[in-house]
Amino acid sequence: MTPPPASVELVRSSTLACGTVERVAAVSGSAVWAADLSSLTRPRIAVMVLATVVTSMWLTGGRPEHAGAAVVLLVGTALVAASSSVANQILERSTDRRMKRTASRPIAAGRLSTRDAWVIVAASLGVGVAAIVASAGWRPAAAAAATWLLYVALYTPLKRITPLNTAVGAVAGALPVAIGWLAANGPERLAAGDARGGLAVAALATVLYLWQFPHFMAIAWLYRAQYAAAGLRMLTVVDPSGLRAAGQSLAAALAMVPASLVLAVPSGSIRLFLAAAVASIVYGVAAARFAVRRDDASARALLFTSLGSLLGLLTAAVAFGRPV
Amino acid sequence: MKPTFFNWTHLIACLLVAVTAVLLSFGALVTTYEAAMAVPDWPATYGHNMFLFPLAEWLHGPWDLFLEHGHRLLGALAGIITLLLAGVAWRSATRPAVRWLAVAAVALVVVQGVLGGARVLLDDKTVAKVHACTGPLFFAVAVAVAALSRRTSPDHGPATRVPVALLVASYLQLVAGAQLRHLDATVEPSTFQLLVGLHIVGAVAVTVLAAVAAATVGAGGSTSASRSTSAGRWAKGIVIVVGLQLLLGVAAWVANWGMPSGLLPESWQLTEPLRARSGWNAVVVTGHVVLGMMILGASVVLTIEVGALGRSVTRRDAADAAAAGRAFA
């Protein structure tokens, strides 16, 4: 990682004689470093990926036999997710500079060199995949690597080419489900006649795929001006009226209702069924409101609703959805 | 696009609503008579192509077979009409929401068909519940397409979100009702009580929301003209139907389980078959389900009439139509 930004350096050098200010500057430097690390690795996305993997494992095989191996698997998955995030920022550094939302990211702002960033990408990807192989075998590691490839090598460049990028990126968003399923020996269970875990995981993957359309369309609407300035062909840039984005959101949210309900089929849990109905219907109403209004307020509401509904759905799936 | 004499999108959507209403009624009867497994294979019917199953066997065969096969044929018909609707809407609908709702309808009808097949092949009650909840959702979308594709603009009564709340509550009531309709014989009494409690709370919520909607939408202005708006009439109609539905709900309980004792039937026997599979009992129980779907459909229309999801929808219609021409080109 390169040194802290120039402003911190300036404070440090001009107040060298003053110990108190020096300590403040050092603290600021650490804070900036931590902020940069967070901006680079985007831990909130990693947490969502991990939540997906945990839910998938739980629905497939219940409590893992070896807790330590499961923890190593999650650490490895988090590293792969972080690696993909850094790689994405390397490839998008020029467009990031043109957007207010992303201009201060460490690579775009020049605080981290591209070469150093590639080292971080390679190291975290290598260690992450190795950790997954060691803890759960090569199949979940292959799924993690495929997710990385899809996100970095396909989705990221597609953002400049076609608004279909969301449909491709949503696959990468749903693929971590496969990591959990493979780690919990899903194929063996399926071959042994236990189809319920597979059905639950298939439903979860479908839910996650569909869930991303309203979520990302809301983001694409809120930052449409910045995306346009950066030359990214998001749907809200190609169609500034927002009609296509709103339409895709609505269609996906409505299709998500039955997919969410299917989550309850393997367990037969009435509680999960009801929770899934509430979460998906509330999401559907938020998407319908955005489809009709197409303004910032409804997009923001849709964005927050998306997070709440997914959190509720995953929590309910873990609490009540273990197949019997 | 040049306006045509017939508003084909609206006409086809209305046809779809009518067919779906009959389809859902057949589906409700299938559940009432526990006829879902009357045809054990899918998509074939006793080895025949569904559409080539002998007519005489269907019409003069067992009642269970008549219901289940009829339900399948109606489902196929609804699917065909939905595809036609999507094609026509994509070409000619002026409101973009209509196009996308038609696309959503195609997705839902395909999912619903697969769920129906899975329900038979897996013989699974939870799949049956999902099937029972997706049907009304599809119906609601069909109604929305029909309401939005009218040439006349909505009335736009006073700004209120009550119709949206009523719409959500009436759908969740159907979800809770589906749990009670597809009860597993092994269900615990406490779970049964929970479901009944939820259904009763939902009934209270729907009743209150319908009354508030009628009061706010129906009396939205100071002039008598505004009271007789289309939205006001829909709101008042919903109140009447909800009142009838409450009576049917009590009757459905008695028809299914006998007299109530708190939140449980008087004699709670988990393995006792439902008593609703005959005569008037079946009519009452099925009617309760069908009326619930009608309340949902009417709530969709009311929500659209008052523009509760977005007051600016009408003002944007012209701009939308122009933008849609560009966006979908």
Mean pLDDT across the stretch B81-110? 89
- What integer pLDDT is reported at residue A182 of this predicted model? 96
Can you tell me the distance from the alpha carbon of B323 to that of A281, in angstroms, rounded to the nearest whole number? 29
CA-CA distance, A243 to B313, in Å (whole number)?
Answer: 12
Domain that holds residue A287: 195-324
Residue of A nearest to B307 (CA): A292
Interface membership of B142 toward A (CB under 8 Å) = no
CB B99 within 8 A of CB B90: yes
E strand or H helix at B261? strand B260-261
- Please write the tens of the pLDDT for every residue from B65-94: 999 999 999 999 999 999 999 999 988 877
Long-range (24+ apart) CB contacts under 8 A made by B65-68 are: B65/B35, B65/B38, B65/B39, B67/B26, B67/B29, B67/B30, B67/B33, B67/B35, B67/B38, B68/B30, B68/B35, B68/B36, B68/B38, B68/B39
Per-residue confidence (pLDDT) for residue B153, from 0 to 100: 57
- For B146, the token pair is 């029909």
Give the nearest partner residue to B126 out of A251, A273, A298, using CB atoms.
A273
* Residues of chain A found within 8 Å of residue B167, distances taken between Cβ atoms: 285
Is 50 exceeded by the pLDDT of residue B222?
Answer: no
Nearest residue of B to residue A249, measured between CA atoms: B100
Query: Does position B310 have pLDDT exceeding 70, yes or no?
Result: no
- Domain termination residue (choose one: A192, A220, A239): A192
Respond yes or no on whether ipTM tops 0.85: no
Chain A nearest-CA distance from B52, in A, is 30
As for how many domains chain A has, the answer is 3
Residues A317 and A202 grouped into a single domain: yes
How high is the pLDDT of residue B253? Answer: 86
In this predicted model, what pLDDT tens digit does every residue of A66-85 receive, in sequence order? 889 999 999 999 999 999 99
Mutate which: A243, A257, A278, A281, vs B, most B CBs within 10 A: A243
Exposed/middle/buried for residue B191 (C-beta within 10 Å: 0-12, 13-18, 19+): middle
pLDDT tens readout for residues B246-277: 999 999 888 877 777 776 776 655 445 455 56
Q: Are residues A46 and A183 in the same domain?
A: yes
- The tokens of A231 are what? 């030359």
Q: Say yes or no: A201 and A323 in one domain.
A: yes
Task: Say what the pLDDT of residue B1 is.
Answer: 47
Chain A partners within 8 Å of B96 (Cβ) = 243, 246-247
- The gap between the terminal CA atoms of chain B, to the nearest Å, is 12
A230 and A298 together in one domain: yes
Sequence-ordered list of residues with C-beta below 8 angstroms from that of A63, at least 6 positions apart, any chain: none
Residue A253's pLDDT is what?
95
CB distance A298–B310 less than 8 Å? yes
Q: Is A235 on the interface with B (CB under 8 A)?
A: no
User: Which residues face B261 on adjacent strands?
Assistant: B264
One domain for residues A86 and A18: no
DSSP readout, B2-67?
PPPSS-HHHHHHHHHHHHHHHHHHHHHHHHHTT-GGGS-SSSSBTTB-GGGS-HHHHHHS-HHHHH
Give contacts of A298 with chain B, Cβ < 8 Å. 310
DSSP character for A105?
A: S
User: Residue B91: its pLDDT value, please?
Assistant: 87
What element of type H or E holds B260? strand B260-261
Mutate to test the interface with A, among B110, B111, B130 (most CBs of A within 10 A): B130
CATH number of the domain enclosing A186: 1.10.357.140
- Report pLDDT digits (tens) over B148-175: 888 665 555 555 789 999 999 999 999 9
Mean of pLDDT values over B203-220: 88
Contact yes or no for A174/A209 (Cβ under 8 A):
yes
Cβ contacts (< 8 Å) between A288 and chain B: which residues?
Answer: 309
Is there a contact between A182 and A140 (Cβ–Cβ < 8 Å)? yes
Q: What is the pTM of this model?
A: 0.84
Give the pLDDT confidence of B47-63 residue by residue, as tens digits. Answer: 999 899 999 999 998 99
Strand pairing partners for B265? B260
The predicted pLDDT at position A4 comes to: 44
Q: Which of B104, B124, B312 sits opposite A265 (nearest CB)?
A: B124
Contact: B312, A293; criterion CB under 8 Å: yes
Asked if residue A239 and residue A159 are part of one domain, the reply reads: no
Q: Which residues of chain A have pLDDT under 50?
A: 1-18
Kindly determine whether residue B108 and residue A292, on different chains, have CB atoms separated by under 8 Å: no
